[in-house]
Structure 1
Amino acid sequence: MTTDQHPVPTTPTTPTAPPPPTARAVLAAKVLLAAFGLALLTDLGSLVAEAETGHRIAKPLLMPLIAAFVVVRGGPRLLVAALLFGWGGDVFLLSGADWAFLVGMGSFAVGHLCYLALFAAVRGAAAPPRWTAPVYGTALVVLVVLLWPGLPAELRVPVAGYAALLTVMARQSTALGLLAGLGGALFLVSDLIIATGIAGWPQLPEPDFWIMLIYSAGQLLLAIGVLGVLGTSGRNAATGAPGR
């Protein structure tokens, strides 16, 4: 229904760039990044010292701190959602139960779907570099074939499906530039270490330390990479900025 004075537009408006951050927002973002760094150091130190309590306290703080940083920076809701689904996966994986592992993997998978929707909205008509298709595709096939015999029978199909989704996310992240592409690759590597552990492959010393370091760096680089693209392309309206 329309009026003569104010007809309803039939085409979407052009996305506009976010307003410059205020001094308070800049300070808050720096504080949140510092808090994230402190929580990560606490978590990594707890893993090395085998202090389970410290790990259980620090690990669940990591993704919410990055998500809060994104909100302060005026980032998109889909990015916040992806990080919070990652937080859900982190929390469930603190349990050693098989059901918790599957639920945690499902939470991460939803986060990857949020990332894919976000990348599509941010990059517009752009596409990942052509070389990424054969590289990521070959890596997925080789790794699934090699891991398959060592995985528990009930986990083979879920892990293979999750690996395919994660690989697609990592490849698509390369369309947003170096930082986001590196973040997607690190996310893939961290989960690969987990999968090799489940399959009974030899592990690096302190594998949980490396998993958390690489995973946390990957998520942070994905967030910073997306925010950097939005700050220069002015497409945050396409993905929706968080509201209060």
Structure 2
Amino acid sequence: MVQFNIGVGGGMAAAILAALAYLPVTHRDKTLWHSALKTVPVAVCAMIAMTQSAPGLLVAGLALSALGDWALSRPFERAFMAGLVSFALAHLCYLGLFSGLVETWRILPALLLIGFALSSELWLAPFTGDLRGPVRIYVGLICAMAVAALSLPDLYRMASVGALLFMASDLILALQMFRMSAGTKRARWAGYALWTLYILGQMAILFAFVALKPAA
């Protein structure tokens, strides 16, 4: 049995409001204001995790994600690579966190995700140009993280859901970046979808570790 920890409610509400404020401007020019607004929601989640004495790997994963949000919102090639590295490290943190809690590994999700990773060689890798190597590594990391998340005990099922939402947002981001023309209506709607899935995913992972506690 679990009970809700109301101590994180205010912080989550602030993060949700910031995420909603950013949603309509996901397609706008990458100004400093735009970057700051994008960074706030997950940065607040990292602060919640830290103040609630959450596992260090969760705090680090959220903080690295916030750093990645800032970097990916800047209009520079080096900033993009910094963002890619930040999110790769965040997935490593989540992978370490989830793996340490797994009691029994689930084989079917692992096989399905391995198949998904291999399939990206057909629909994604040929379109990534010089980024093919980093993208391959990133795909492998997020699939490994999802395998660990789907093997979590039932108490952390919300983190499993969050990991899948996070993965779905990355899938849409990959399609938006490498398979869609910038500035199109389809790319704009993809931006709305990936931001929504990403925020819900991060918050679900946070919720699993700080808002749900074993009942006394």
TM-score (norm 1): 0.75
Letter in 1 for 2:50: V
Q: Cα 1:226–1:145, aligned 2, differ >3 Å: closer, same or farther?
A: farther
Amino acid at match of 1:114: C
The answer to whether 1:146 aligns with 2:110 is no
What is the Cα deviation at residue 233 of structure 1? 10
Name the residue aligned to 2:10. Answer: 31
Counterpart residue number, 2:145: 169
Per-residue CA deviations over 1:63-104 (Å, capped at 9, x if unaligned) read 111112222332111100000000111110011322211111
Would the alpha carbon gap of residues 101 and 52 (structure 1) be closer, same or farther in structure 2, given more than 3 Å must change?
A: closer
SS of corresponding position for 2:26 = helix
Which protein shows a greater Rg? Answer: 1
After superposition, residues 68-147 of structure 1 pair within 5 angstroms as: 68-123=47-102, 126-147=103-124
Distance 2:200 2:80 in 1: 22
Q: Which residue does the alignment assign to 2:214?
A: 232
SS in 2 for 1:215: helix
Give the distance between the partners of 1:100 and 1:233, measured in 2 at CA: 44
Q: Which runs of 5+ in 1 are unaligned?
A: 1-19, 235-244
Between the aligned partners of 2:205 and 2:88, the Cα distance in structure 1 is 16
Q: Please report how far the alpha carbon of residue 122 of structure 1 lies from its aligned counterpart in structure 2 after TM superposition.
A: 2.9
**What TM-score do you get using the length of structure 2 for normalisation?**
0.84
1:60 aligns with 2:43: no
The answer to whether the Cα contact below 8 Å between 1:82 and 1:112 also exists between their aligned partners in 2 is yes
Quick one: which amino acid aligns to residue 145 of structure 2? M
Whole-Å separation in 2 of the counterparts to 1:142 and 1:111: 23
| Preserved CA contact (<8 Å) 2:35 2:74 | no
Number of residue pairs matched by the alignment: 206
Alignment of 1:219 onto 2:202: yes
Deviation at 1:213, TM superposition (A): 0.9
SS at match of 1:122: coil
- Please list every run of 5 or more consecutive structure 2 residues that lacks an aligned counterpart in the other structure: none
How many Å apart are 1:225 and its aligned residue?
2.1
CA contact 1:150–1:198 (8 Å) conserved in 2: no
